[in-house]
Amino acid sequence: TSIEFEKKLAAKEAVKLLSDGQTVGLGSGSTAGYAIREIGKLVKNGLQIRAIPTSDHSRDLAASLAIPLVDINSVDTIDITIDGADEFDPSLDLIKGGGGALLREKIVAAMTTDLIIIVDSAKKVEVLGAFKLPIEVIPFASSFVLRRITNLNGEGTVRMAGATEYLTDEGNYIIDATFGPIRDPSSLATELNGIEGLVGHGLFVQMARKVIMGVDSTTKTFEA
C-alpha cells in the first residue's frame, strides 16, 4: 500500500543520518522496523554502530540482523534514535505508544541527542488527540488511574490482548484514553505525570529533533 511505501521511504531517508562510532536507539513499530532492516544492511556493509532497542520485539529483529546491541545501563547518552509515532503536530509534539513500547521509547528518547521520527503522511495532524493516548500503569493502580483520567475529563479503557489485559515488556497495563483535541500537550503531560502509579504516557513533548514524513513518492522533513 502507499502507506507502507511511505514508511519505507521515511526509513531509508532517516538511516542516511547514521555514521561510524554512533550509539543508535532503535524504535518500535512497523515504520521503525523498516529502519532496523535498513540498518541491518548498512551493518552488513561495514557500518560500525552499537544499538539500544526500545522493545523486546525490536531487540529480536536487530539481533536477527546481527546489529551489535549494548545494554542501556552501560550507556550514558545515545547519539541518534530512529523511531515512529502515531501522530505529530506542527510543534513536532507526538503521540506514541500505539505499539505499546512507549515507556522504553521515552527513556531512550530522553537519553538521545537527536531523536528522528519517521512517519507516513497519515500521521500528520493539526492537533493531537484523534489517536487515543496510550498510558502505562502498574496493574495495582489501574482502576485508580482510570478514575484520575476521568477527573481530567478523559475516558480510558484498559488495552486487552484477547481475553486478558495486554502486558508491556515491563509487565504493566496500557490504558488508551481520549481527551478530545489536545491543544496544550505540555499541560496534559504535566497533569498525567502527577498521577501515582502512572509510569508512562505517549505524549512526547518537544523531544523530536526532526520528523521525516514519507509522502507519495518522496519525503518531507519537518524540523523543530
Q: Does 105 bind ligand DER (CB under 6 A)?
A: yes
Residue 191 annotated in active site:
no
Residue whose CB is nearest to ligand DER in the complex, by number: 29
Residue of 202, 24, 203 whose CA lies nearest to 111: 24
Residue with cell 506514541: 96
CB of 98 to ligand DER, least distance (A): 4
Q: Does 102 bind ligand DER (CB under 6 A)?
A: yes
Residue of 42, 32, 40 whose CA lies nearest to 11: 32
Judged by CB under 6 A, the residue of 25, 53, 98, 200 near ligand DER is: 98
CB of 204 to ligand DER, least distance (A): 9
Q: Does 84 bind ligand DER (CB under 6 A)?
A: yes
Q: Does 96 bind ligand DER (CB under 6 A)?
A: yes
Neighbours of 204 (CB within 10 A): 25
97 is in an annotated binding site: yes
Q: Does 29 bind ligand DER (CB under 6 A)?
A: yes
99 is in an annotated binding site: yes
Q: Does 13 bind ligand DER (CB under 6 A)?
A: no
d(CA 97, CA 29): 9
CB of 20 to ligand DER, least distance (A): 26
Q: Of 6, 13, 38, 105, which one is the catalytic site residue?
A: 105
Q: Does 31 bind ligand DER (CB under 6 A)?
A: yes
Q: Does 207 bind ligand DER (CB under 6 A)?
A: no
Judged by CB under 6 A, the residue of 12, 30, 42, 121 near ligand DER is: 30
Q: Does 85 bind ligand DER (CB under 6 A)?
A: yes
3-state DSSP of the chain: CHHHHHHHHHHHHHHHHCCCCCEEEECCCHHHHHHHHHHHHHHHCCCCCEEEECCHHHHHHHHHCCCCECCHHHCCCEEEEEECCCEECCCCCEECCCCCCHHHHHHHHHHEEEEEEEEEHHHECCCECCCCEEEEECHHHHHHHHHHHHHCCCEEEECEECCEECCCCCCCEEEEEECCCECCHHHHHHHHHCCCCEEEECEECCCCCEEEEEECCEEEEEEC
96 is in an annotated binding site: yes
CB of 145 to ligand DER, least distance (A): 19
Interface residues with ligand DER (CB under 6 A) are 27-32, 83-86, 96-99, 101-102, 105
Residues labelled as active-site residues:
105
Which residues are documented as binding site for substrate? 28-31, 83-86, 96-99, 123
